[in-house]
Amino acid sequence: MRLSIRIPLSAVILIILSLIFFLYHNKNDKISVSSFTLKNHVNNKEKQRTLNIDMDIRENLKKTVYMLSEEIGSRGYLQADALESAVNYITSELKHYGYDVLFQPYEFEGRIYKNIYAEIRGKKTPEKILIIGAHYDTVTGTPGADDNASGIAGLLEIARLLHNQTFDKTIRFVAFTLEEPPFFRSKFMGSYVYARSLKENGEDVEGMICLEMIGYFTDKPESQFFPLSVFRWMYPDKGNFITLVSNLQSKDFLNRVKHIFKKNTDLPVESISTLSIIPGIDFSDHRSFWEFDYNALMVTDSAFYRNPNYHNIGDTPETLDYESMSKVVFGLKSAIEELAKD
């Protein structure tokens, strides 16, 4: 007997549609797997590239700190040869990165001292200037790894990272002489001489970022001290963060820098905008820019409020945290990129 099976047309159509859906779904799965594999590969390459960049930053920071504090050593105001060696090193690094380097020499008691500067000229509004500065001298007799080879190392590394980019505004990198006593808070500070020249020339400085001791970090409890006891309730007691410091006039500028910094690095950052009468608030080259009514802030590990080696022979390269320093540099680099493009 012959068995005859009839399949309704609607069922045939349903089977065909199901088959098409199955094939299409599997095809998409293959594409998704392939896309996932490709995306994973791209992400891994990006992670490796970021890792390589971070390693480059750390090694460059370490190289500069060792050169200034160990190879050259103490760079006090009467140590002309050491100061000149520091000038030559900073100049050669900037030139190596492709910059034209200029000097601002000035005289004090028959000796010539030099500020060093280079810039990325803005394309759209070159008259608007962002200044990144750090001092290269030390207290006589100290290696000055944190104070302030770390700041100069950060300055040079930011200059290296930004060099091949185009910006609307001008970015200027300045290495100052004679920040330390007996010149501190005087008109003979390198930064005062430089800021005064900007004012006399009518230059439009949108803001100045001062790198002052950016290398000492510790996770030890009760390692962070403060100028006033009330600050203990406002800030961490572990010295594992970087601090942005400004006067009240520069508060908006500081807040912009801090906001961008936090987006681009996981290093903890604290800030304070207050009166200069608080001890330590004006203890570096940013003070000179406040004197001429420019917005300015200091980036610091808080100096003697944290680093036990401040202004003594223990301020050596091996006491610094180059990984945290590299995060400071990357955060500031990111902030400067945004500030210079709007």
* Whole-number percent of the chain with pLDDT over 90: 84
**Using one digit for the tens of pLDDT, what is the confidence trace for 79-101?**
999 999 999 999 999 999 999 99
pLDDT at 14 over 80: no
For strands 242-246 and 169-176, give the pairing.
Answer: unpaired
Tell me, yes or no, whether 15 lies in a domain: no
Mean pLDDT for the stretch of residues 138-144 = 98
Query: Residue 307 burial by CB count (10 A; 0-12/13-18/19+): exposed, middle or buried?
Result: buried
Q: What is the pLDDT of residue 10?
A: 47
State CA 279 to chain mean position distance. Answer: 24
Comparing 263 with 15, which gets the higher pLDDT?
Answer: 263
Q: What is the pLDDT of residue 82?
A: 98
Tokens read off for 22: 């199955």
Measured distance CA(21)–CA(103) in Å, rounded:
73
Confidence of residue 37 (pLDDT cuts 50, 70, 90): low
Confidence of residue 234 (pLDDT cuts 50, 70, 90): very high
Q: What is the pLDDT of residue 166?
A: 97
Name beta bridge partners: 118.
173
pLDDT at 15 over 50: no
State CA 67 to chain mean position distance. Answer: 20
pLDDT at 42 over 50: no
Tell me, yes or no, whether 253 lies in a domain: yes
Which of 294, 286, 251, 245 lies closest to 269, judged by CA? 245
Q: Is the peptide bond before 182 cis (omega within 30 degrees of 0)?
A: yes
Measured distance CA(324)–CA(108) in Å, rounded:
37
In the chain, the number of structural domains is 1
CATH code of the domain covering residue 142: 3.40.630.10
Measured distance CA(93)–CA(84) in Å, rounded:
14
Measured distance CA(113)–CA(84) in Å, rounded:
9
Q: What is the pLDDT of residue 68?
A: 98
Tell me, yes or no, whether 199 lies in a domain: yes
pLDDT at 341 over 80: yes
Q: What is the pLDDT of residue 91?
A: 98
Tell me, yes or no, whether 3 lies in a domain: no
Tell me, yes or no, whether 282 lies in a domain: yes
Confidence of residue 324 (pLDDT cuts 50, 70, 90): very high
Tokens read off for 260: 């961008």
Q: What is the pLDDT of residue 52?
A: 62
Q: What is the pLDDT of residue 54?
A: 81
Cβ pair 141, 206 in contact under 8 A: no
Report the residue count for the chain.
Answer: 342
This prediction's pTM: 0.86
**b/e for 107-122, b at 16 or more Cβ within 10 A?**
eeeeeebbbbbbbbeb
Measured distance CA(242)–CA(47) in Å, rounded:
25
The residue segments making up the domain with residue 265 are: 40-339
Mean pLDDT for the stretch of residues 125-152 = 98
Tell me, yes or no, whether 311 lies in a domain: yes
Instruction: Count Cα neighbours of 145 within 13 Å in the Cβ-side half-sphere.
Output: 24
Which of 277, 313, 283, 314 lies closest to 301, judged by CA? 283
Tell me, yes or no, whether 26 lies in a domain: no
Tell me, yes or no, whether 152 lies in a domain: yes
Q: First vs last Cα of the chain: how many Å apart?
A: 88
Tokens read off for 272: 């304070």
Which of 90, 115, 71, 145 lies closest to 303, judged by CA? 145
Alpha-carbon torsion (180, 62, 215, 133), positive or negative: positive
